[in-house]
Amino acid sequence: MTAQTYWAEHARLDTGVEPGVVIETGADGRIAAVRRGAAAPPPGAVALRGITLPGFANAHSHAFHRALRGATQAGEGTFWTWREVMYRVADHLTPDNYFALARAAYAEMALAGITSVGEFHYVHHLAGGARYDNPNAMGEALIAAAAEAGIRITLLDTCYLSSGFGAEPDKHQRRFSDGTAERWAERVSALKGDGNTRIGAAIHSVRAVPAEQLGTVAAWAQEREAPLHVHLSEQTAENDACVEAHGFTPTALLSHHGVLGPRTTAVHATHLTPGDIRLLGHSGTGVCMCPTTERDLADGIGPARALQEEGSPLSLGSDSHAVIDLLEEARAMEMDERLHSRTRGHWTAVQLLRAASADGHAALGWDEAGRIEPGALADFTAVALDSVRTAGSPPALAAETAVFAANGADVRDTVVGGRHIVRDGTHQLVAHVPAALAEAIAAVRG
């Protein structure tokens, strides 16, 4: 990696939107210097037109769900009927075709300004449950895919043991299960991080990990100071079943077993009681909202504003990849809250961008990302201000324009660790991303 100088026509810094910002990156992949007030690019600098923002963090992804786009939008159904279609795609995954699909999906993310992804990974074994010769073959395929697509990854290796509150995994779920949380911990401990990769943990849900084994997963993450994520209260049926089985809501059950805390992120958190919201907020547990998936699956609108007011930092994810667009996720969180409350202006554009960047990176264990300042990781993205969606707004309102008008198609440049991964809308590492997606999806749809 070599040092590089970038010149941003406009950049969102901690002082606001600034014109003519020079960003010097070092050989270590971090920002070496930031200078304001440069009317033109210095000699040798790469010009970034539009507004340059910290790179986006996609805090919740299931890469293979990218193959479902379009297929699950036809006809009627519920989350549970959607899940059956998802299982059929999961049945076709191998390390090779999963690598190809994830590489293409992660390249699509880079094109949308995403510089880090949290991959909630639970397809571990062969169909039927037998282990690969390399028990982490699937996880390592995802790590390699992110590296080739040029984005960072936090592999959230997921413990998934039950089809529901102690029941044995069904025929589709056997390849997800390690049998016990102890065997899960033994396997995931062999995974290694690197400069592009961090290893975290995930509890699929309270229905998929027996209560007496929740603490094993939490302890593994705590010992390593690793991120811990969990699907939480996405469906009312899960809440009802948890109360029937344990006498607690899912949030209370997680609290009882030591799962909640500042390094934990609850995903969705859609159907919560006031007590649940207090438990999450007062413990500092983060919440990842996935609005485009939550509305696509008719899950409901989560209490994002109430959670933040109680102390939960918010992040954003594209989850099932109905779309891959963190600007849309940020906008949707505000718009959904408006529909629910019938009032406007719950978050400013800057606050929404923070959820899409700094707080998302923190949820994935990349605390040094999400800011354009010396010492931070040199991860940033430029959004056009001259497209049909963004033209006409003054530069002072560039952040508002990006959040409330732009979309992923307006991303022109993405820089990760100082490397120019997307240049003028073209991915520099993956040739013809649409063709790569089409080929990879055809291979797993069966």
Q: Which residues belong to the active site? A: 268, 319
Token pair listed for 27: 């050989």
Measured CA to CA, the distance from residue 239 to residue 207 in angstroms comes to 9
Tokens in use for 148? 């080739």
- Residue partners of 375: CB distance under 8 A and separation at least 6: 30, 31, 368
Instruction: Write out the two tokens for 339.
Output: 């529909």
**Residues 290 and 318: beta-carbon distance below 8 Å:** yes
Residue from 349, 334, 357 nearest 400 by CA: 349
Residue 442 neighbours by CB distance under 10 Å? 11
Distance between CA atoms of residues 221 and 224, nearest Å: 5
Q: How big, in percent rounded to 5, are the helix, strand and coil portions of the chain?
A: 40, 25, 40
Angle at 401 between CA 400 and CA 405, to 5 degrees: 120
Q: Which is nearest to 119 in space by CA: 172, 60, 53, 165?
A: 60
What is the C-alpha separation between 256 and 259, in angstroms, rounded?
8
Q: DSSP H helical segments within 317-432, as ranges?
A: 326-341, 349-356, 358-363, 398-404
Q: 372 exposed, middle or buried (CB, 10 Å; 0-12, 13-18, 19+)?
A: buried
Strand arrangement, sheet containing 264-268: 56-61, 114-121, 152-159, 197-203, 228-232, 264-268, 286-289, 314-316
| Residue 208 near residue 169, CB atoms below 8 Å | no
